[in-house]
C-alpha cells in the first residue's frame, strides 16, 4: 500500500516536473503549466491519502481530511485551466460554478464540523487490506454540507463533457479522439473518486481513498496526448529541417542557374518602395550603394529615352488583373557604358487588389542588342546597296529625267540671250522665259532630291507613309524607262487608302524593284501588249494592299516561292537579291510579300502592310 501510493505520488511529481520543464520551454505553456499543477495537486492528495491511511490519531485524520480540500480546489482549477487552454472549449459559467462550489466546499470544510466529510470523527477503524497491511479509516457522523463536494464534481464533469462535445463537433480526427479520451477519463475520474470517497466515508466499503488512482487514466490520457503532441512537433521539426535543406538547395540551384544565365533576381516591395537584389552577392544594374533603391531612383538611372516608356509599362502592370511586367531598357553603368537590360516581373496583389510586391528577373542583353544592331546595320547596308544597284540599272532613264529640264533651261536661256542680242526686246517674252527657267530648275531639283533620297544611307524611319504617293514617286523615277520599253501603265489607286507606318525610302525601293522586274519580264512581250498594272486598295480594316502586275510570261508555279530566296535569279546580270531584300523590308514593316500568276498571262506581286489607325492617307 505504502509503496503503491508513494510510487503514484512520485510518478505524479515526475509528470509535474516534466510538464513544468515543457512549460518552461514555452511549448503550449498554459496547458503544460496547468497539467503540471494538476499533477502536483494530485501528488499532494496522494500523499495526504497515504498519511491518512497510516495515521492512528483522530485529530490527524480530521486535519488531513480538512486540508485535502485545498489541493482538490487547486486540482479543479488546473483541470479547468487545462481544458480551456488545451481544447479551447468549455462554458465559462460552468467553470465558474464548479470552482465556486469547490471554494465553498473548502470554506465549509474549515467552518463546519471537523471537515467537509465528517461532522465529527468518532473513531478510526483499522481495516486489513490486500498485502496484509492495516489502514485507518475515519468513522463518525457525516457533515450535512458534504453534498457540496459531489455537486461541484458533477458540474465539473458537465463542464468537461460540454467542452468535449464542442471539440467533437469540431470534426477533426485528433479533436474527436481527444474529446473521447479526455471527457471519458476526466468524467470517470471525477465520478469514481467522488463516488468512492462518499462510499468510504459513509462506511459502506472499507478501502483506502483512491482519488489519486482514479486520476491515473487522466494522467495516462494527458501524457499520451502531450506525448503525441511532442512526437508531432518532433516530426514537424524534422520535416522543417528537411524543407530548410531543400530550400537551401533550391536557392543554391536557383543562384547557380541565375548566375550562369546572367540573370539578376530582384524584388520590389511596392508598399515600402524598395527595390533590391534577392541575391546578396549580385549587384543590380551596377548600382553598388545603396543596395535598396526606390522606384524613382531606378527610373532616374535609366537612359533618358527609356524613362517614360518603362514607367508606363510598370504602371500598366500594376493595374489589377494584369500583374505581368516586361520591358527592355538601357542603363548608363557607373563605368559610363550603356547596357541593355531585359526585365520581367510578376506582381503579387493583396485581397483588395492592391499591388504588394513585384518579383522579377533582369538579364543583361547588351551583347544580344549589339549583335542585333550589327545585323540591322548590315541589313540596312545591303538594302542600300541593292537600292544603289537598282538605280544604277536605271541610270540611263534617270539621266533622261534630269536632261529634260536641263535641256529646257539651256534652250530657254540661249533663246533669251539671242532675243536680247537682237535689240528690240519683248520684255514679256523674257519674263516668260525666266519663269520657265525657274520652274524647270525646280523640276531638276525634284529629280535630284528623289534620287538623293533613294541613294541616301539613313536610319530607318517609322512615319506615316501614303502608299499612293510612293507609287506616284516611283513611277516618276521609272517614267522614261517605261517609255523606252514602250510600256503603258494602268494605275488604279484607292484614294481612301489609309497610311501605313514605315520607311518611305524602303517602300519606294520595294515598288521600284517590283516595277523594274515587271518591265524586264515584258521585254519579250509584243510591244503593243506591254502593260504594267499598279493597284492600291484597302484590305480588310487594317491592311493596305499593293499589287504590281505585268504581261510577261509569268512565273513557273514551282518557283513562286523560291524567287524570294537569295541568289535565285533568272536574269543574266542579276544578283538575285532584289526580291529577298524586298521581302525583308516588307516583313520588317509587319507585312507580307508574295507572287501569283495572272490570267491569261503575266505575274502579279502583292504586298500587304498594316495600316496605322487614325492616319488617313
Partner 1 sequence: MNESAPTVLVIDDDPSVLKSLARLLRSIEVNVATFASPQEFLDQFEPVIHGCLVLDIAMPNFNGLELQQELAARGNELPVIFLTGHGDIPMSVQAMKQGAIDFLTKPVHDQDLIEAIHAAIETNRMNRRAHDELNEILNKLSLLTPREREVLEHVVSGRLNKQIAADLGTVEKTIKVHRAHLMTKLKVRSLADLVRLAERAGIMSIASNRNDCQT
Alpha carbons 596 and 603: distance in angstroms, whole number: 6
- Name the segment binding partner 1 (CB under 8 A); options: 58-66, 122-130, 369-377, 435-443: 435-443
Contact pick of 254, 415, 575, 588 for partner 1 (by CB under 8 A): 415
User: CB of residue 415 vs partner 1: minimum separation in angstroms?
Assistant: 4
Q: Virtual CA dihedral for 203, 205, 207, 208, nearest 10 degrees?
A: -50
Q: In angstroms, how far is the first alpha carbon of the chain from the final one?
A: 113
Contact pick of 306, 440, 503, 550 for partner 1 (by CB under 8 A): 440
Contact pick of 408, 460, 493, 538 for partner 1 (by CB under 8 A): 408
- Residue 466 in 3-state DSSP? coil
User: CB of residue 542 vs partner 1: minimum separation in angstroms?
Assistant: 38
Contact pick of 36, 94, 116, 433 for partner 1 (by CB under 8 A): 433
Per DSSP, 293 falls in state B
* Cβ closest to partner 1, residue 288 vs residue 427: 427
- How far, in Å, are 276, 298, 534 from residue 284 at the CA level? 7, 10, 55
User: CB of residue 395 vs partner 1: minimum separation in angstroms?
Assistant: 9
* Cβ closest to partner 1, residue 95 vs residue 478: 478
Closest CA to 334 of 366, 289, 387: 289
User: CB of residue 446 vs partner 1: minimum separation in angstroms?
Assistant: 13
Contact pick of 414, 449, 461, 559 for partner 1 (by CB under 8 A): 414
Contact pick of 128, 204, 234, 410 for partner 1 (by CB under 8 A): 410
- Contacts of partner 1 in 368-397 (CB under 8 A): 396
User: CB of residue 518 vs partner 1: minimum separation in angstroms?
Assistant: 17
Per DSSP, 86 falls in state I
* Cβ closest to partner 1, residue 41 vs residue 433: 433
Pairing of strands 134-139, 543-549: unpaired
User: CB of residue 400 vs partner 1: minimum separation in angstroms?
Assistant: 3
**313-319 — which CB contacts under 8 Å span 24+ positions?**
317/345, 317/347, 317/358, 318/270, 318/347, 318/355
Alpha carbons 172 and 295: distance in angstroms, whole number: 48
Pairing of strands 488-492, 531-539: parallel
- Name the segment binding partner 1 (CB under 8 A); options: 331-339, 378-386, 433-441, 544-552: 433-441
Contact pick of 109, 114, 143, 412 for partner 1 (by CB under 8 A): 412
Tell the residue number behind the cell numbers 467552518, with chain if given. 111
User: CB of residue 531 vs partner 1: minimum separation in angstroms?
Assistant: 13
Alpha carbons 84 and 91: distance in angstroms, whole number: 9
- Contacts of partner 1 in 494-523 (CB under 8 A): none
Alpha carbons 540 and 468: distance in angstroms, whole number: 17
Q: Does 525 bind partner 1 (CB under 8 A)?
A: no
- Name the segment binding partner 1 (CB under 8 A); options: 96-104, 238-246, 439-447, 604-612: 439-447
Q: How many residues bind partner 1 (CB under 8 A)?
A: 30
Dihedral pair phi/psi, residue 73, rounded to 5°: -60, -45
User: CB of residue 485 vs partner 1: minimum separation in angstroms?
Assistant: 10
Alpha carbons 73 and 85: distance in angstroms, whole number: 18
User: CB of residue 431 vs partner 1: minimum separation in angstroms?
Assistant: 13
User: CB of residue 493 vs partner 1: minimum separation in angstroms?
Assistant: 20
Tell the residue number behind the cell numbers 494538476, with chain if given. 38
Q: Does 530 bind partner 1 (CB under 8 A)?
A: no
- Name the segment binding partner 1 (CB under 8 A); options: 57-65, 138-146, 400-408, 495-503: 400-408
- How far, in Å, are 38, 162, 165, 190 from residue 158 at the CA level? 19, 6, 10, 11
Closest CA to 115 of 148, 70, 68, 66: 66
Contact pick of 3, 130, 336, 418 for partner 1 (by CB under 8 A): 418
Residue 571 neighbours by CB under 8 Å, 6+ apart: 520
Closest CA to 99 of 144, 153, 52: 153
Q: Does 399 bind partner 1 (CB under 8 A)?
A: yes
Per DSSP, 409 falls in state H
* Cβ closest to partner 1, residue 366 vs residue 403: 403
- Name the segment binding partner 1 (CB under 8 A); options: 42-50, 225-233, 403-411, 568-576: 403-411
Beta strand ranges found along 457-576 (DSSP E): 463-465, 488-492, 498-502, 531-539, 543-549
Q: Does 400 bind partner 1 (CB under 8 A)?
A: yes
* Cβ closest to partner 1, residue 104 vs residue 430: 430
- Name the segment binding partner 1 (CB under 8 A); options: 75-83, 354-362, 417-425, 545-553: 417-425
Q: Does 439 bind partner 1 (CB under 8 A)?
A: yes
Q: Does 359 bind partner 1 (CB under 8 A)?
A: no
Q: Does 526 bind partner 1 (CB under 8 A)?
A: no
Spacing of C-alpha 205 from chain mean position: 75
Alpha carbons 513 and 534: distance in angstroms, whole number: 13
Q: Does 406 bind partner 1 (CB under 8 A)?
A: yes
- Contacts of partner 1 in 447-486 (CB under 8 A): 480, 483-484, 486
Give the number of other CB atoms < 10 A from CB of residue 286.
14
User: CB of residue 403 vs partner 1: minimum separation in angstroms?
Assistant: 4
Q: Does 409 bind partner 1 (CB under 8 A)?
A: yes
Closest CA to 216 of 12, 19, 69: 12
- Contacts of partner 1 in 132-151 (CB under 8 A): none
Per DSSP, 142 falls in state B
Alpha carbons 165 and 161: distance in angstroms, whole number: 6
Alpha carbons 237 and 246: distance in angstroms, whole number: 14
Task: Give the interface with partner 1 as residue ranges (CB under 8 A).
Answer: 396, 399-400, 403-412, 414-416, 418-419, 422, 429, 433, 436, 439-440, 443, 480, 483-484, 486, 488
Amino acid at each position: 500500500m505504502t509503496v503503491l501510493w508513494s510510487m503514484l505520488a512520485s510518478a505524479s511529481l515526475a509528470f509535474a516536473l516534466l510538464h513544468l520543464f515543457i512549460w518552461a520551454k514555452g511549448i503550449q505553456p498554459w496547458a503544460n503549466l496547468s497539467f503540471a499543477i494538476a499533477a502536483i495537486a494530485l501528488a499532494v492528495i496522494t500523499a495526504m491519502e497515504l498519511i491518512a491511511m497510516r495515521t492512528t490519531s483522530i485529530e490527524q485524520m480530521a486535519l488531513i481530511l480538512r486540508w485535502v480540500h485545498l489541493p482538490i480546489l487547486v486540482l479543479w482549477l488546473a483541470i479547468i485551466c487545462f481544458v480551456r487552454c488545451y481544447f479551447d472549449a468549455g462554458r465559462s459559467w460552468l467553470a465558474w460554478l464548479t470552482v465556486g462550489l469547490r471554494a465553498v466546499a473548502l470554506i465549509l470544510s474549515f467552518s463546519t464540523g471537523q471537515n467537509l466529510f465528517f461532522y465529527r470523527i468518532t473513531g478510526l477503524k483499522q481495516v486489513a487490506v490486500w498485502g496484509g497491511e492495516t489502514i485507518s479509516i475515519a468513522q463518525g457522523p457525516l457533515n450535512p454540507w458534504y453534498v457540496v463536494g459531489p455537486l461541484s464534481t458533477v458540474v465539473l464533469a458537465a463542464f468537461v463533457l460540454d467542452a468535449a462535445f464542442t471539440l467533437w463537433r469540431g470534426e477533426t480526427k485528433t479533436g474527436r479522439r481527444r474529446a473521447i479520451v479526455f471527457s471519458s477519463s476526466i468524467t470517470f475520474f471525477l465520478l469514481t473518486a467522488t463516488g468512492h470517497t462518499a462510499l468510504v466515508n459513509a462506511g459502506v466499503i472499507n478501502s483506502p481513498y483512491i482519488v489519486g488512482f482514479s486520476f491515473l487514466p487522466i494522467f495516462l490520457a494527458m501524457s499520451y496526448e502531450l506525448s503525441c503532441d511532442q512526437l508531432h512537433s518532433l516530426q514537424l521539426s524534422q520535416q522543417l529541417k528537411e524543407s530548410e535543406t531543400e530550400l537551401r538547395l533550391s536557392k543554391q540551384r536557383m543562384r547557380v542557374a541565375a548566375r550562369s544565365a546572367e540573370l539578376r533576381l530582384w524584388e520590389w516591395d511596392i508598399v515600402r518602395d524598395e527595390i533590391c537584389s534577392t541575391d546578396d552577392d549580385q549587384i543590380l544594374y551596377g548600382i553598388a550603394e545603396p543596395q535598396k533603391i526606390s522606384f524613382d531612383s531606378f527610373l532616374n538611372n535609366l537612359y533618358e529615352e527609356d524613362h517614360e516608356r518603362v514607367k508606363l509599362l510598370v504602371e500598366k502592370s500594376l493595374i489589377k488583373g494584369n500583374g505581368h511586367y516586361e520591358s527592355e531598357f538601357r542603363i548608363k553603368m557607373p563605368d559610363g557604358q550603356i547596357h541593355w537590360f531585359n526585365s520581367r516581373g510578376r506582381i503579387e496583389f493583396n485581397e483588395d487588389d492592391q499591388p504588394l510586391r513585384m518579383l522579377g528577373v533582369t538579364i543583361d542583353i547588351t551583347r544580344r542588342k549589339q549583335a542585333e544592331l550589327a545585323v540591322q546595320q548590315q541589313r540596312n547596308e545591303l538594302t542600300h546597296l541593292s537600292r544603289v544597284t537598282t538605280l544604277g540599272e536605271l541610270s540611263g532613264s534617270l539621266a533622261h529625267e534630269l536632261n529634260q529640264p536641263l535641256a529646257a533651261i539651256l534652250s530657254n536661256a540661249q533663246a533669251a540671250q539671242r532675243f536680247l542680242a537682237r535689240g528690240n526686246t519683248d520684255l514679256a517674252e523674257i519674263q516668260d522665259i525666266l519663269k520657265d527657267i525657274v520652274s524647270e530648275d525646280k523640276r531638276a531639283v525634284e529629280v535630284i532630291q528623289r534620287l538623293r533620297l533613294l541613294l541616301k544611307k539613313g536610319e530607318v524611319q517609322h512615319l506615316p507613309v501614303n502608299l499612293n504617293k510612293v507609287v506616284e514617286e516611283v513611277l516618276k523615277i521609272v517614267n522614261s524607262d517605261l517609255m523606252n520599253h514602250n510600256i503603258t501603265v494602268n494605275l488604279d489607286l484607292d484614294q481612301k487608302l489609309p497610311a501605313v507606318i514605315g520607311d518611305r525610302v524602303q517602300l519606294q525601293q520595294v515598288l521600284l524593284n517590283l516595277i523594274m522586274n515587271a518591265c524586264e519580264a515584258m521585254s519579250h512581250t509584243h510591244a503593243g501588249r506591254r502593260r504594267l498594272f499598279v493597284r492600291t486598295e484597302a484590305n480588310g480594316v487594317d491592311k493596305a494592299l499593293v499589287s504590281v502586275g505585268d504581261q510577261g510570261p509569268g512565273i513557273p508555279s514551282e518557283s513562286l516561292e523560291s524567287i524570294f530566296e537569295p541568289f535565285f535569279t533568272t536574269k543574266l546580270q542579276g544578283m538575285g537579291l532584289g526580291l529577298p531584300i524586298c521581302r525583308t523590308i516588307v516583313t520588317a514593316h509587319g507585312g507580307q510579300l508574295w507572287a501569283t500568276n495572272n490570267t491569261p498571262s503575266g505575274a502579279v506581286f502583292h504586298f500587304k502592310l498594316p495600316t496605322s489607325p487614325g492616319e488617313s492617307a
